[in-house]
A and B are shown apart, each in its own frame.
Chain A
């Protein structure tokens, strides 16, 4: 009884924590997980803050175009920055739409509003090292055809997969790059790869600060292949109606951010590691909001991370053990349960998060749902194998002594299988601690937040402020389970191992 009450309390506390994030009067600003996205997200958040009294929540650094756009459509965020090219190619799938008016009309049909361009163009571009360009006399993308058989490339996943990315480009330029020399990798890591001399050619955005830092030459798009990527605000119509002053303030930034200004801001973030809040404040000519100290920052991340892992753990125990029991008792249902929980495990976490956003919005809820689903398999499987491993003679003897089914389960079967079940819970916990870092991609915070933003900045110290506490938490969890084992596993079984 006491345990049930504690679980209820925990759930109640969680819902109190999550609820305010979705309250109507809050304005939620989102962003994608790359430097420029963070900078523009922070500029939008501070602009809205100074224009209205409504509290602003930042959901910056969300996984991908797909996640952030789903979040906008479902109302989990109100506004974010995107690019005209991305909107027509990846979201509307209407490459024929060329003018801003056309795009605005197409978006309004799905309940969205788009501003006029903010003033700079951030298109896809290909770049090589300045030295490599000189050695091979490269100036434009067409020139690549001379070295197409031997050039080594690293391209981001998004560039490889988009209609207006790699496939279209090689077709337009009739390039025949050797497939085995093309590496797909996380965008921020491609800079590391070209700096290390591991590759010769990468894709990037034309406002990228690392162009100067890494001494890269951007190859001219001499056939005018890449669409125009003008930065704009995209918002929900409902938000524009409810907060006209906030929207007006955002519109005042139309045409106000030059390409030079954007490159500078990106450079401050990427190279000088100035905080996004400070960069945005500087640009807006206002005071930077007080930044959190590292300690309170880590404390907050720890709280968020503990919530994620704790609830997932509670769920995996309360649901996983009964499912394991059902799997033992009913053969057909059992196979179904085991296969289903194994299948969940095979869904890539980013994809699962993407599926969950239309159902749960962004923030804690989809992250918790994903973690709960992932933590199920180890518990279900270990409950199943643990119970199946109990010597049937003990069960028959217990019945011969007149024990009821319930007594046999609680006094004999569960204690005898407890080492295996506990090992499953331990696995689920440690895996959850790792997987929960991905929750940052849907705005759930936790140790993943500094990891995601650190990755986009290629900023190792920032990554470590998330990665080290996560590793420590896993170690502590491991130790705690050793202690729990001493309490829960009957001593008669412990001495065997």
Chain B
């Protein structure tokens, strides 16, 4: 369970986040959505423990972020950066196993955990020996998910996982991702600007605007019971293509 409670953050006197509350039950997938400048990247960095905040709590299973060392916290949150964010100088396998190796895991334990995750994300074994630049966008994304899941964290945090992929691959990987989340059985927070992706992957959606939460709920809630005209405006703005009737 991931809880953000009353988070406030100002930068140079200007509020960036105001009273942000978020509660994701164990095993649920939650999408944090907002346009650029909405504060979602700041919230992501706060959740990862990378930057300090002024007020509030970040908790996993009721244990506050500040009660852990950075290393302990990092092992509780598996992070998938934008576009996978693989380190270019080491192979896929080394990317996945780097942190476990630094924590002193032995070869055998690393090997069996990597194998377990490889099967889970459905990646050919041979691909793990390759360097990131030799892998397709979708393959890199899978390696990045393996890396995030390696230490068996309670929470997974994904930043714009599909942003750099072309639309067709995106479709098939979204499907894939959904079943990977189900198999992993983790609490997942997904940060995206794409409503379609959020609706497809997450049960609950939080819309962030100018540092404040506008509404949290299912897509149905957002569509039928918008808390604010901005919600409707945001939903309508995402439907960019004219439908058949309009074209005719």
A residues apposed to B, CB below 8 Å: 393-394, 396-404, 407, 411-412, 415-416, 490-493, 495-496
Binds A, one of B69-77, B202-210, B216-224: B69-77
Task: Given A415-B89, A492-B131, A492-B133, verify A403-B99 contact (CB < 8 Å).
Answer: yes
**A390 CB, nearest partner CB in chain B, Å:** 10
- A400–B90 contact, CB under 8 A? no
- B133–A496 contact, CB under 8 A? yes
Total cross-chain contacts (CB, 8 A): 63
- A492–B89 contact, CB under 8 A? yes
Which of the residues A400, A411, A412, A492 comes within 8 Å of B79, measured between beta carbons?
Answer: A400
Contacts of A411 in B (CB 8 A): 98, 102
- A396–B50 contact, CB under 8 A? yes
Task: Given A397-B81, A401-B79, A402-B74, verify A492-B98 contact (CB < 8 Å).
Answer: no
**B70 CB, nearest partner CB in chain A, Å:** 6
- B50–A407 contact, CB under 8 A? no
Contacts of A492 in B (CB 8 A): 87-91, 131-133
Pairs across A and B, CB under 8 Å, 16 listed: A393-B82, A397-B87, A398-B87, A401-B99, A402-B70, A402-B71, A402-B73, A415-B89, A490-B90, A491-B89, A492-B87, A492-B89, A493-B89, A495-B133, A495-B134, A496-B88
Contacts of A412 in B (CB 8 A): 87
Q: Using an 8 Å CB-CB cutoff, how does the interface string of B57-90 with A read, 1 for contact, 0 for none?
A: 0000000000000111111010101100101111
CB of B24 within 8 Å of the partner chain: no
Task: Given A397-B79, A412-B87, A492-B91, verify A404-B132 contact (CB < 8 Å).
Answer: no
Size category of the B interface is 20 to 34
CB of B48 within 8 Å of the partner chain: yes
Task: Given A396-B50, A407-B102, A495-B131, verify A402-B75 contact (CB < 8 Å).
Answer: yes
**B17 CB, nearest partner CB in chain A, Å:** 18
- A397–B85 contact, CB under 8 A? yes
Residue of A nearest to B157 (CB): A400
- A400–B74 contact, CB under 8 A? yes
- A393–B89 contact, CB under 8 A? no
Contacts of B99 in A (CB 8 A): 401-403
How many Å lie between the Cα of A400 and that of B85 in the bound state? 12
Task: Given A393-B81, A393-B85, verify A400-B71 contact (CB < 8 Å).
Answer: no
How many Å lie between the Cα of A416 and that of B89 in the bound state? 7
Contacts of A393 in B (CB 8 A): 81-82, 85
Task: Given A394-B85, A416-B88, A492-B89, verify A399-B131 contact (CB < 8 Å).
Answer: no
How many Å lie between the Cα of A399 and that of B79 in the bound state? 11
Contacts of B131 in A (CB 8 A): 491-492, 495
How many Å lie between the Cα of A399 and that of B48 in the bound state? 9
B residues apposed to A, CB below 8 Å: 48-50, 70-75, 77, 79, 81-82, 85, 87-91, 98-99, 102, 131-134, 147
Contacts of A491 in B (CB 8 A): 89, 131
**A493 CB, nearest partner CB in chain B, Å:** 5
How many Å lie between the Cα of A416 and that of B74 in the bound state? 23
Contacts of A400 in B (CB 8 A): 48-50, 74, 77, 79, 81
Residue of B nearest to A404 (CB): B71
How many Å lie between the Cα of A416 and that of B86 in the bound state? 12
- B102–A403 contact, CB under 8 A? yes
Contacts of A401 in B (CB 8 A): 74, 79, 98-99, 147
- A493–B88 contact, CB under 8 A? yes
**A487 CB, nearest partner CB in chain B, Å:** 14
How many Å lie between the Cα of A399 and that of B70 in the bound state? 9
How many Å lie between the Cα of A412 and that of B99 in the bound state? 12
**A405 CB, nearest partner CB in chain B, Å:** 10
**A468 CB, nearest partner CB in chain B, Å:** 39
Residue of B nearest to A393 (CB): B85
Contacts of A402 in B (CB 8 A): 70-75, 99
Contacts of B73 in A (CB 8 A): 402
Residue of A nearest to B70 (CB): A402
**B99 CB, nearest partner CB in chain A, Å:** 5
How many Å lie between the Cα of A415 and that of B98 in the bound state? 14
Residue of B nearest to A394 (CB): B87
Contacts of B74 in A (CB 8 A): 400-402
Please give me the 4 A-B residue pairs with the lowest Cβ-Cβ distance, nearest first. A402-B74, A490-B89, A492-B131, A402-B71
How many Å lie between the Cα of A179 and that of B85 in the bound state? 66
**B129 CB, nearest partner CB in chain A, Å:** 11
Residue of A nearest to B88 (CB): A492
**B127 CB, nearest partner CB in chain A, Å:** 14
Contacts of A397 in B (CB 8 A): 79, 81, 85, 87
How many Å lie between the Cα of A461 and that of B90 in the bound state? 51
**A329 CB, nearest partner CB in chain B, Å:** 19
- A399–B50 contact, CB under 8 A? yes
How many Å lie between the Cα of A428 and that of B91 in the bound state? 31
**B59 CB, nearest partner CB in chain A, Å:** 18
Q: A398-B87, A402-B99, A492-B88 are in contact. List 4 more A-B contacts (CB 8 A).
A: A401-B99, A404-B71, A491-B89, A492-B132
With most chain A CB atoms within 10 A of its CB, the pick from B48, B73, B88, B89 is B89
Residue of B nearest to A493 (CB): B89
Residue of A nearest to B49 (CB): A400
How many Å lie between the Cα of A496 and that of B133 in the bound state? 8
How many Å lie between the Cα of A401 and that of B98 in the bound state? 10
Contacts of B91 in A (CB 8 A): 492
**B146 CB, nearest partner CB in chain A, Å:** 13
How many Å lie between the Cα of A402 and that of B75 in the bound state? 7
Residue of B nearest to A415 (CB): B89
How many Å lie between the Cα of A493 and that of B72 in the bound state? 31
**A486 CB, nearest partner CB in chain B, Å:** 14
With most chain A CB atoms within 10 A of its CB, the pick from B71, B77, B87, B91 is B87
Contacts of B50 in A (CB 8 A): 396, 399-400
Residue of A nearest to B77 (CB): A400
Contacts of B88 in A (CB 8 A): 416, 492-493, 496
Contacts of B85 in A (CB 8 A): 393-394, 397
How many Å lie between the Cα of A447 and that of B147 in the bound state? 54
**A203 CB, nearest partner CB in chain B, Å:** 61
Contacts of B102 in A (CB 8 A): 403, 407, 411
Contacts of A490 in B (CB 8 A): 89-90
Contacts of B134 in A (CB 8 A): 495
How many Å lie between the Cα of A398 and that of B89 in the bound state? 13
Contacts of B82 in A (CB 8 A): 393
How many Å lie between the Cα of A403 and that of B73 in the bound state? 11
Contacts of B70 in A (CB 8 A): 399, 402
